[in-house]
Structure 1
Amino acid sequence: MTIVKILEIVAILVGAFSGFIEARSKKMDVVGIFTVAFITAFGGGTLRDILLDRRPLFWVEHQEYAILIFLLAMVAAPAIRTLRKIISERLIVTADALGLGLFSIVGVSQALEAGMPLFIASMMGVITGIFGGVLRDIVCNEIPMVLRDGKPYAICSFAGCWMYLLMQKTGVPADFALWSSALGITAFRMVTWAKGVKIE
């Protein structure tokens, strides 16, 4: 299994977790929980694949991803109510930030693999990183967080994608470039959230 696939699987799980929590906070039933988790986990990657003209879509090619989210939703529906009592806002933001980092770097690396120019590759990373969360918020009847809270979100993704691209161009080992860039995005998002940084 390649490092990109490992990153993708972890990102899907983290994205699904974010979807589970948000859906449960809206008092959705098991169908709603599965739907929100599914679009959060797969929304960004699906748009990326469509724009890159990749077929089949990544979650169609790997049906085990969709099956995993389905099974987790069955477990999550009764468990999330209890978990919300012990899950802090920081943990939820951390999961969201980790998903942003992982999805963004998976997106930019796959765009490079498809032969996209550097700027387009970086934008594919941003799209992969943020679009699942945008869909999650829309389905949950919220203005997408990336558009409303003023805190760096897409900017964190964009900066991390360029960090990865620069490391690629300077001969940094691929595995290190992937992991360090993903964690860099996560750390950037967490620091700006903790410090209350806003871009008005």
Structure 2
Amino acid sequence: MLILEFMAVAVSAVYGSLMAARARMDFVGSFTIAFLAALGGGSLRDLILDRHPLFWIGQPYYPITVFIICIIVPFLIKFISRIKPILLYPDSLGMALFTVVGTKIALDAQDSNFIAVLLGTITGTFGGVLADIVCNEVPSLFRPAPLCATCAFCGAWIYVFGAMLCWEGPLLISVSVIFIVIFRIAAVVFDWRFPSVRQPD
């Protein structure tokens, strides 16, 4: 799970750094957005579960990884003509990895299945929410937009049901992550979304 969590941090940091570059932020802004995207959801999960220290304090190479990625990404951006189209891929993979990690941590804490799924969804999505807010954007989670949290929510249930069936760890992780990534990309490509609760007058 540490390897899985490290991958989630790294991929989400790339996503946050690309978001900051798209908003034309400097290095401090890039590190802030990448930090929130990579570590925000897991921090909120740990606070809810009263886990101490927070996961990135207990594993101090996580914020160091975010810092290094923020140094590297600007050198790679000059080879990318448009940033927005590629944001979907690190966003989807980071969300999927963090969702599985969060769900497993909640299950290991003896939480109920539904609570574990909620905490997995929070872990997978709220880093992006915090990054969107700091970038002065309404998070896609809270407005009519291609499905995001729903993908994490469904993928977390797959992990829970697989755990109940005693599937082996690597198989269960792979199935859950692949499902979330494909679901999220398909939601964006085919514009699957929920309607707004109240339609405009």
- Equivalent pairs, count: 195
Distance 1:110 1:83 in 2: 38
Of 163, 171, 191, which aligns to 1:196?
A: 191
* 1:87 CA displacement: 5.1
Q: TM-score, normalised by structure 2?
A: 0.92
2:114 matched residue in structure 1? 119
1:130 counterpart = 2:130: no
Distance 1:84 1:134 in 2: 25
Runs of 4+ in structure 1 off by over 4 angstroms are: none
Of 24, 28, 39, which aligns to 1:27?
A: 24
What's the secondary structure of 1:67's corresponding residue? helix
1:14 counterpart = 2:11: yes
* 1:149 CA displacement: 3.9
2:33 matched residue in structure 1? 36
Superposed CA RMSD in Å reads 1.4
Gaps of 5+ in 2: 196-201
Of 35, 60, 64, which aligns to 2:61?
A: 64
Distance 2:169 2:101 in 1: 12
Contact preservation (8 Å) 2:45, 2:123: yes
Alignment of 1:33-182 (within 5 A): 33-76=30-73, 78-79=74-75, 81-85=77-81, 89=85, 91-182=86-177
Q: In the alignment, residue 94 of structure 2 is paired with which amino acid? A: G
What's the secondary structure of 1:56's corresponding residue? coil
Higher mean displacement: 150-159 or 127-136: 150-159
* 1:150 CA displacement: 2.6
**CA 20–131 in structure 1, closer or farther in 2 if over 3 Å, else same:** same
Q: In the alignment, residue 155 of structure 1 is paired with which amino acid? A: T
